[in-house]
Amino acid sequence: MFETASAGLLSLFAFLAVISIVVVIHELGHFQVGRWCGVHAEVFSVGFGPTLVSWHDGKGTQWRIAALPLGGYVRFRGDENAASAPDRKELARLREAHADPGTVFHFKPVWQRVLIVAAGPVANFILAVVIFAALGMIRGEARIEPLVGEVTAGSPAESAGLESGDLILAIDGSPVSGFSDISRTVFMRAGQQIDIAVERDGERITIQATPERRVMDDYLGGERARGFLGIGVSRDAEITHERYSVLEAPAYGVQRTAEAVGMIFDYIARLVTGRASTEYLNGPIGIATTAGQIANIAVSDAAGGTSETGPADRLVRLVLGLLSLSALLSVALGLMNLLPIPVLDGGHLVYYAYEAVAGHPPGPAVQTTGFRLGLALILGMMLVATWNDISYLRDLFS
């Protein structure tokens, strides 16, 4: 009973830590660029709901610590809500009162509003680069040569003609540098043909294979559907481990962030074109579950330690695991907010692009309708993601 409660508390802590870091950094991006542009931020809240603690800084911004630590928000002067929808009554009052237009977000030139809105996603990408760079210096990266060992009987790999000893060079034209690249590529391509370039007996040949959908262990205690090819790594595969220097780490951080961006973009593109399933969409429950699983595995003996593993080693594993998850979530949050959907940052940027071309913003009715449709779309996506999360939890505890 005590162990279950402890695991639950650790899961809750892990989720709150990860989501707070990612969202608060996003909002700090908006806040800092807004302040550089002279916009007055009325409120910066860490968390949502009732205020627990608050104070004002020297420029009049109220900083809050709220009861629900699920991220946060910044509200600029003239905003109606945390989504930065314009408060038209307040804007009219400010105009009548001849308020300093330089302090009002919605009175700023288009280019400054674009910078302020884009600063949130950019902050997420910068956070991901910094985390990946730090992990590259601290933990480094192990790469396993993509040399095929066992080929599972009856698998798509066997049907396609892959053989033990094949060195995989590229998949769909993208170079493969390690065996993990194969797993990432195949993961969400069930039922889709892929071109695999391999080196066999000194010759380069291309093989077409179609991964099949299988429900498999996700290495976090649960099971998820994924594309299955049916190859294992060869015992003769070379394993290298590289730890990056202070000078090399930033480039490594950019590379890992770019890989994450490419992977998410690829999924979104295939989702929109109907070539990928919505079963990989996850919401807050899924994030909380994953964070909890990573945290509990990190502090357990199953993470590669022994009963003699000290608290310091477990703490390091915990921090590194949550940092890795935070980096991936930061990239996902940055990209999601750039989608051209009203309510999200990308939707605001679409409105500003229209204003820059037409010389005036879209009418109030158009903006209101856009926000409503955008909210409906986001709620629909959240409904699908929540269903996926609940299905995963049901299977996890069954």
Report which of 79, 77, 81 is spatially closest to residue 39, judged by C-alpha positions: 77
With a CB cutoff of 8 Å and minimum separation 6, the contacts of 3 are none
3-state secondary structure of 234: coil
Cα torsion angle, 85, 88, 90, 93, sign: positive
Question: What does the angle CA 336 – CA 26 – CA 270 come to, to the nearest 5 degrees?
Answer: 15
Report which of 61, 47, 60, 35 is spatially closest to residue 119, judged by C-alpha positions: 35
Which residue stretches of the chain are H helix? 2-36, 88-96, 110-138, 156-160, 179-187, 249-272, 284-298, 311-337, 345-358, 364-397
Which pair of tokens denotes residue 245? 């220097």
27, 158, 203, 279: the active-site residue: 27
> Residue 27 and residue 48: Cα distance in Å, rounded?
13
C-alpha distances (whole Å) from 141 to each of 15, 70, 330 are 25, 31, 20
Report which of 187, 180, 124 is spatially closest to residue 326, judged by C-alpha positions: 124
- Token look-up 């060992």 returns 149
Amino acid at 264: I
Angle, helices 110-138/345-358, rounded to nearest 10 degrees: 140
Which pair of tokens denotes residue 165? 């000893």
- 223 counts as catalytic: no
Catalytic residue numbers, as ranges = 27
